[in-house]
Amino acid sequence: MTIASPGESSAAVAESTAELTDGYHLVVDALKMNDVETIYGLVGIPITDLARLAQARGIRYIGFRHESNAGHAAAAAGYLTKKPGVCLTVSAPGFLNGLVALANATTNCFPMVQISGSSERHIVDLQQGDYEEMDQLNAAKPFVKAAYRVSRVEDIGRGIARALRTAISGRPGGVYLDIPAAVLGSIMDAEEGAKTLSRLVDPAPRQLPAPEAVDRAIELLASAERPLVVLGKGAAYAQADDRIREFIETTGLPYVPMSMAKGLLPDDHPQSAGTARSLALKKADVVMLVGARLNWLLNHGEAPQWNPDAKFIQVDIEPREMDSNQPIAAPLVGDIESVFEVLAERTKPGQITVPAAWREELGARSAQNVAKMAKRLAADPHPMQFVGALKAIRDVVHERPETYIVNEGANALDIARSVIDMHVPRHRLDSGTWGVMGIGMGYAIAAAVETGAPVVAIEGDSAFGFSGMELETICRYKLPVITVIMNNGGVYRGDDVNPRDDAPSPTTLMAEARHDVMIEAFGGKGYRATTPAEVTAALTEAMAAGGPVLIDCVIDPSAGTESGNIGHLNPKGITVGNITVK
Ligand code: ADP
Ligand code: TZD
Ligand code: MG
């Protein structure tokens, strides 16, 4: 047996001996055994050697500048691959930074595991003031699907298996796994250690719906005069693209995609009612929700946005989701792939039809809305508006449908969602269920790392600021990420004034900011575009070059509305907006 020289880590000791192993090695072996190929993280005590060893053993390690961004990347990796994304953080502050992303992943139903080192248990539990002391397990609990701690080196394999299975099975979500420093440094017999590891069998088991539940849903759909399918990001996540498409096409049902379900069927599909969305919701009498919750994003299923007599069918893996907002007349609990398999088996040919009047009504509204949008798209005012810049982006990315679109901001989000059509499933990643800012660079990095495809991140100037330092990460790993900033000089807009003095107003940012120069500090290429033609030229060049690029689009500071499409959610006091100071 090799004896460690003073200061040599236990990882190094175990590396040089055949008979012993330690916590670091067991964590890495357990992750590899379960096909974890990438770790997104940020190192420090006590996990630096863990990241080093993972990399040495062939796990790809992507090091970030802030744990929230590493966490968002892990969450997006989980969504894109249907395997838990793994984020690695240090104790207390690093853990808390990552927790934002873990909570966001849970809210979005993305499978993710945050593994965090933690400090000495006996010191933490007596609150004696250890380096980065915190009771992380209990802090995590309210925000995650589950939180576990490994307290003995021989439980590492079990802890990792449990964390991965919990994240991925049933409704996916975020899982916290706490590994105290002492456990990582514990040494045990290598052969015994190997026996403690296991590979998950069937980590996300199929869940078939009961035949009578399926028949109930089919009968309800068959009785509808104005049926509608709503596809959510759960449907995109399920990777049951062909089955969903086949059911929609054989029945002829009109559908509306939620934002991250855009592209599950191409946005220009003849049955898409996306361009007649408000009419579709307002009038549908039978609505089939597929991997979409009836939450705020769907106005809780309430009038006036919805027909108050609408009956709902809900396809979801989570039984507790049913009746959360409206009574569900036909719950279909199961995984989407299995549900659509049974739906196809049990629907008799011609049983579900769509009355021509409904198709025509939706078609007419759609044509009207498309014409209105065409007018907006044709205008080319100066200074540049959101629509002008986004149309330019749309036209370039249409040529490359494999491009991933990441999108956050308020107006930058809402307008991009409606201007940029998607044609391929799971290629749009955005602020999601919380409408959170800060996902941009993390999601973009994950999309690039997991797929190797080009990524265009369309960012409000405020939104970008939450993760902007990751430009260095993008440049360091030479990722094919093109960041496009909709720079209107503010949160929502850039022309708000402080009525009292010349200090910037709460929504004001620097309209003259040169985000394009930021990326050049790290060796990337920056462009500044003041017209749609300049956006087209810059993006075309960037797509051809493929490397890290940032395009700062100078948008009219008076473009944009407060909170974008969701201004009505601002509480209304006696005065609203532009408060008069007495
Ligand atoms: P959106 O925001 O696009 O409307 P939501 O995030 O509200 O979508 O809804 C996603 C839903 O999909 C969640 O209720 C989740 O339980 C469900 N879900 C996720 N994966 C599956 C799956 N494989 N099968 C069935 N339901 C799923
Ligand atoms: N903090 C976090 C984490 N999430 C949030 N959603 C917000 C703050 C509040 N917020 C929004 O909801 S949108 C937004 C903030 C700060 C930024 C809007 O400005 P932008 O986009 O520049 O990104 P537009 O194009 O100017 O509207
Ligand atoms: Mg802005």
d(CA 177, CA 362): 49
Q: What is the mean pLDDT of residues 211-238?
A: 98
Confidence band, pLDDT 50/70/90 cuts, at residue 11: low
- Is the minimum distance from the CB of 283 to ligand 1 under 6 angstroms? no
d(CA 275, CA 364): 10
Give 559's contacts (C-beta < 8 A, 6+ positions apart).
385, 386, 411, 488, 493
**553 C-alpha to ligand 1 centroid (Å):** 34
Please report, for residues 175, 178, 529, the alpha-carbon distance to residue 46 in angstroms, rounded to integers and kept in the order given. Answer: 20, 12, 45
Look at residue 156 and tell me whether its pLDDT is greater than 90: yes
d(CA 549, CA 526): 6
| pLDDT tens digits along 162-183 | 999 999 999 999 999 999 999 9
Confidence band, pLDDT 50/70/90 cuts, at residue 398: very high
Q: Which of 209, 212, 214, 254 is nearest to 231 (CA)?
A: 254
The sign of the torsion formed by the CA atoms of 67, 68, 74, 77 equals negative
Q: What is the mean pLDDT of residues 365-382?
A: 94
Look at residue 3 and tell me whether its pLDDT is greater than 70: no
Residues 492 and 505 sit within 8 Å (Cβ to Cβ): no
Cβ < 6 A, ligand 2 pocket: 409-412, 435-438, 460-463, 486, 488, 490-492, 560, 564
The pLDDT of residue 380: 84
- Which of 237, 324, 340 has the most ligand 1 atoms within 8 A of CB, as the residue to mutate? 237
Work out the angle at residue 195's Cα, subtended by the Cα atoms of residues 190 and 197, and round it to the nearest 5 degrees.
100
The pLDDT of residue 4: 41
For the CA of 412, the nearest ligand: 2
**271 C-alpha to ligand 1 centroid (Å):** 22
- Is the minimum distance from the CB of 261 to ligand 1 under 6 angstroms? yes
d(CA 96, CA 102): 10
Q: Spell out the alpha helix ranges (H) of 422-466.
A: 440-451, 461-465
Residues with CB under 5 A from ligand 3 (ion): 460-462, 488
**233 C-alpha to ligand 1 centroid (Å):** 6
Q: Which residue has the tokens 């708000």?
A: 496
- Is the minimum distance from the CB of 318 to ligand 1 under 6 angstroms? yes
Ligand 1 atom at minimum distance from 207 CA: 24
Q: What is the mean pLDDT of residues 106-119?
A: 98
Look at residue 582 and tell me whether its pLDDT is greater than 50: no
For the CA of 488, the nearest ligand: 3
Structural domains of the chain, with CATH: 17-195 (3.40.50.970), 211-364 (3.40.50.1220), 379-569 (3.40.50.970)
d(CA 403, CA 219): 40
Residue 272 DSSP class: B
Work out the angle at residue 77's Cα, subtended by the Cα atoms of residues 459 and 565, and round it to the nearest 5 degrees.
35
Mean pLDDT value across the chain = 95
| pLDDT tens digits along 36-79 | 999 999 999 999 999 999 999 999 999 999 999 999 999 999 99
* DSSP codes joined into one string, 200-215: PSSSS---PPPHHHHH
Look at residue 128 and tell me whether its pLDDT is greater than 90: yes
The pLDDT of residue 317: 98
The pLDDT of residue 547: 82
Helix axes 336-346, 211-222, angle to 10 degrees: 70
The pLDDT of residue 57: 98
Look at residue 428 and tell me whether its pLDDT is greater than 50: yes
The residue contributing the CA closest to ligand 2 atom 7 is 437
Ligand 1 atom at minimum distance from 295 CA: 7
Residues 483 and 445 sit within 8 Å (Cβ to Cβ): no
Residues 93 and 112 sit within 8 Å (Cβ to Cβ): no
**409 C-alpha to ligand 2 centroid (Å):** 5
Please report, for residues 209, 251, 269, 301, 314, the alpha-carbon distance to residue 235 in angstroms, rounded to integers and kept in the order given. Answer: 16, 18, 17, 19, 12
For the CA of 413, the nearest ligand: 2
d(CA 62, CA 446): 9
Give Dmax over CA atoms of the chain in angstroms: 82
Burial-class residue 64 by CB neighbours within 10 Å (0-12, 13-18, 19+).
buried
The sign of the torsion formed by the CA atoms of 191, 203, 159, 444 equals positive
CA dihedral of 470, 476, 481, 484, whole degrees rounded to 10: 50
Residues 136 and 74 sit within 8 Å (Cβ to Cβ): no
- Which of 418, 437, 459, 495 has the most ligand 2 atoms within 8 A of CB, as the residue to mutate? 437
| pLDDT tens digits along 278-329 | 999 999 999 999 999 999 999 999 999 999 999 999 999 999 999 999 999 9
d(CA 16, CA 436): 46
| pTM exceeding the 0.75 threshold for the entire prediction | yes
Ligand 1 atom at minimum distance from 336 CA: 24
**Coil, strand or helix: which one is 368?**
helix
Q: What is the mean pLDDT of residues 136-141?
A: 98
- Is the minimum distance from the CB of 171 to ligand 1 under 6 angstroms? yes
The pLDDT of residue 578: 58
Ligand 1 atom at minimum distance from 432 CA: 2
Look at residue 503 and tell me whether its pLDDT is greater than 60: yes
Look at residue 581 and tell me whether its pLDDT is greater than 70: no
Q: Spell out the alpha helix ranges (H) of 223-355.
A: 233-237, 241-251, 277-283, 336-346
The pLDDT of residue 572: 84
Confidence band, pLDDT 50/70/90 cuts, at residue 479: very high
* DSSP codes joined into one string, 532-556: HHHHHHHHHHHHHH-S-EEEEEE--
Q: Which residues pair with 331 in a beta bridge?
A: 314
**245 C-alpha to ligand 1 centroid (Å):** 17
Please report, for residues 9, 222, 270, 281, 526, the alpha-carbon distance to residue 412 in angstroms, rounded to integers and kept in the order given. Answer: 49, 40, 27, 24, 20
What percent of the chain is modeled with pLDDT above 90?
94
For the CA of 563, the nearest ligand: 2
Please report, for residues 355, 445, 481, 532, 544, the alpha-carbon distance to residue 548 in angstroms, rounded to integers and kept in the order given. Answer: 50, 11, 5, 21, 11
Q: Which residue has the tokens 């559908």?
A: 255
Please report, for residues 129, 329, 340, 529, the alpha-carbon distance to residue 564 in angstroms, rounded to integers and kept in the order given. Answer: 45, 34, 36, 23
